[in-house]
């Protein structure tokens, strides 16, 4: 594999193993954990931009009113996604978080149809409908929507929609998103500490170290992912992205011993079949386009 593929594998592996990191911080309330993730991500990104001597160009690009409006929506969506994810992992719902990221690619395809009038090939509708059937099955069996999976999937799919029209580079974009979230995050952390419920500086040096490290665990995979997208086709990115939810699922079932019944297996299997069909259809279409391009040349 070339360097871009390794960057992608590294990014998705980091995201897949990230629940292990959050589990080490299970004693921290989810909202506080989100606050620290935002604050220390901001610090890490600020250091990177300053070292690259790009602060002036970032500020010039970020202060346009239209840019701020776009990234205000992106910040809200990624904040919802991060909070739901951290809470779910530390509340022993890792298996359901994996479902959210398994169905996310199919939901993103549907968002392309809704928001950008993209046209799906006939066979692409089959996995979309199958994934919906899997969610409906799980809803009927358990008597309620798998809201964690759907919140993660919808928030990230909508985030991708916003990012598609966002004008900034990925580094600048994430910096602006964390900047927007910085004030409420800092205010909440100060309030928590004043109220006597703050964890930072009150639960030992290892806890403090892990909270500060939340910034790096957020920024490093995103920077690897950004480097990967510049070097390899999106079709390969689409295949490699399943590394993350697969690792989350395996961790949830085999390491943290979350319950996974046979009825759940049936619902998840419907979604997995949908993903296999989606991948095969995409690969077939890519091969056909490559052959056609070669014949023209």
pLDDT tens for each residue of 129-178: 999 999 999 999 888 889 999 999 999 889 888 888 888 888 899 999 99
| 86 vs 71: CA distance, rounded Å | 22
Question: Encoding tokens for residue 77?
Answer: 């969506």
Q: Which of 10-14, 165-169, 256-260 is predicted least confidently? A: 165-169
Q: Which of 59-73, 110-124, 178-192, 205-219 is predicted least confidently? A: 110-124
| pLDDT at residue 294 greater than cutoff 60 | no
Question: For the chain, what is the mean pLDDT?
Answer: 89
| 153 vs 159: CA distance, rounded Å | 10
H or E segment at 75?
A: helix 65-90
Over residues 15-52, the pLDDT tens digits come to 999 999 999 999 999 999 999 999 999 999 999 999 99
| pLDDT at residue 295 greater than cutoff 70 | no
| 152 vs 97: CA distance, rounded Å | 7
pLDDT category of residue 1 using cuts at 50, 70 and 90: low
Residue ranges of alpha helices (H) inside 143-204 are 147-165, 170-194
Over residues 181-212, the pLDDT tens digits come to 999 999 999 999 999 999 999 999 999 999 99
Task: Give the structural domain span for 220.
Answer: 3-296
Nearest residue to 19 via CA among 152, 115, 112: 152
| 212 vs 210: CA distance, rounded Å | 5
Asked if residue 231 lies in contact with residue 2, where contact means CB atoms within 8 angstroms, the answer is yes
Number of domains in the chain: 1
Section 225-251 average pLDDT: 81
pLDDT category of residue 292 using cuts at 50, 70 and 90: low
Cβ contacts of 222 within 8 Å, gap of 6 or more: 11, 170, 174
From its phi and psi, is residue 92 left (phi > 0), alpha (psi between -120 and 50) or beta? left
Asked if residue 105 lies in contact with residue 274, where contact means CB atoms within 8 angstroms, the answer is no
Hey, what's the torsion of the CAs at 19, 176, 171, 153, to 10 degrees? 40
The confidence score (pLDDT) of residue 141 equals: 87
Cβ contacts of 13 within 8 Å, gap of 6 or more: 243, 244, 247
């Amino acid at each position: 594999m070339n360097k871009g593929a390794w960057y992608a594998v590294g990014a998705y592996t980091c995201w897949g193993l990230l629940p292990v990191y959050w589990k080490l911080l299970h004693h921290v309330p989810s909202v506080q954990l989100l606050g620290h993730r935002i604050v220390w991500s901001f610090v890490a990104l600020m250091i990177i931009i300053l070292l690259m001597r790009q602060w002036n160009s970032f500020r010039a690009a970020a202060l346009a009113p239209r840019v701020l409006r776009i990234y205000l929506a992106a910040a809200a969506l990624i904040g919802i996604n991060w909070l739901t994810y951290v809470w779910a992992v530390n509340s022993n719902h890792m298996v359901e978080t994996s479902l959210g990221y398994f169905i996310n690619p199919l939901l993103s395809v549907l968002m392309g149809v809704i928001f950008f009038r993209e046209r799906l090939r006939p066979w692409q509708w089959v996995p979309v409908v199958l994934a919906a059937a899997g969610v409906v099955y799980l809803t009927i069996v358990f008597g309620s929507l798998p809201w964690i999976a759907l919140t993660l999937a919808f928030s990230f799919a909508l985030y991708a929609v916003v990012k598609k029209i966002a004008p900034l580079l990925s580094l600048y974009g994430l910096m602006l998103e964390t900047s927007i979230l910085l004030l409420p995050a800092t205010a909440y952390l100060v309030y928590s500490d004043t109220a006597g419920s703050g964890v930072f500086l009150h639960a030992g040096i290892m806890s403090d170290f892990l909270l500060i490290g939340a910034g790096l665990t957020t920024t490093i995979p995103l920077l690897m992912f950004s480097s990967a997208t510049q070097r390899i086709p999106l079709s390969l990115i689409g295949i490699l992205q399943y590394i993350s939810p697969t690792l989350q699922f395996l961790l949830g079932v085999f390491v943290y011993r979350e319950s996974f019944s046979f009825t759940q297996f049936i619902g998840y299997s419907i979604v997995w079949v949908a993903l296999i069909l989606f991948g095969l259809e995409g690969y077939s279409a890519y091969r056909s386009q490559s052959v056609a391009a070669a014949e023209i040349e």
